[in-house]
C-alpha cells in the first residue's frame, strides 16, 4: 500500500510533536525541519485538529501540540484520518466505473489486505515512532 504525501507529511509532523508532548511547534518550524511547504502542512494540521489529534493556537507563540499522550494515538487511526476519501484502487471508489465489477476476484483480496495493513498499524502508537528531541530545544 502506498500512502499519499499528505499522510506521510502528517505522520512526520506528529512524530515531531510526539517527541515533546505539550510543546507547541509552529508550522514554520516543522516546514523548515522537513523541507516542506508551510501551506501544505497547515492543511494537514487543520485536518488533525478537526478530529482532535492536535490542538492549534493562532498568533505569536502559536502552532500545534498533541492533544493526547503519544501512547494513546494509534498509527492506524492517524492513517485512516489522513487517507480518508482516498481509495486504494479505483474500484473502491463509489464513483468508479469498473468494466469487470461483479466478475473480479481481486477487489475482495485488496480490501482484506488494506484491512490487514491498518490492523498492523493499530498495533503501534505514536510513542513507538517519535523522533529524537530537537537539539537546543528547551
Q: Please give the CATH number for the structural domain made up of 5-128.
A: 1.10.10.10
| Helix orientation angle between 5-17 and 75-82, rounded to the nearest 10 degrees | 140
Please write the tens of the pLDDT for every residue from 41-97: 999 999 999 999 999 988 877 899 999 999 999 999 999 999 987 766 666 666 656
pLDDT of residue 92: 65
User: pTM for the complete prediction?
Assistant: 0.85
Q: Work out the angle at residue 84's Cα, subtended by the Cα atoms of residues 96 and 98, and round it to the nearest 5 degrees.
A: 10
Instruction: Give dist(CA 131, CA 98) in Å, integer.
Output: 42
124-137 per-position pLDDT tens digit: 999 999 999 876 55
Instruction: Give me the pLDDT at residue 95, please.
Output: 62
Amino acid at each position: 500500500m502506498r500512502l499519499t504525501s499528505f499522510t506521510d507529511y502528517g505522520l512526520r509532523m506528529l512524530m515531531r510533536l510526539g517527541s515533546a508532548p505539550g510543546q507547541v511547534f509552529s508550522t514554520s518550524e516543522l516546514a523548515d525541519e522537513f523541507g516542506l511547504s508551510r501551506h501544505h502542512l497547515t492543511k494537514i494540521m487543520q485536518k488533525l485538529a478537526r478530529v482532535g489529534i492536535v490542538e492549534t493556537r493562532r498568533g505569536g507563540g502559536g502552532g500545534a501540540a498533541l492533544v493526547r499522550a503519544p501512547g494513546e494515538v494509534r498509527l492506524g487511526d492517524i492513517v485512516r484520518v489522513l487517507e480518508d476519501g482516498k481509495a486504494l484502487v479505483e474500484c473502491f471508489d463509489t464513483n468508479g466505473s469498473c468494466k469487470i465489477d461483479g466478475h473480479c476476484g481481486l477487489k475482495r483480496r485488496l480490501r482484506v489486505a488494506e484491512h490487514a495493513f491498518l490492523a498492523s498499524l493499530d498495533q503501534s502508537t505514536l510513542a513507538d515512532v517519535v523522533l529524537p528531541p530537537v537539539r537546543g530545544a528547551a
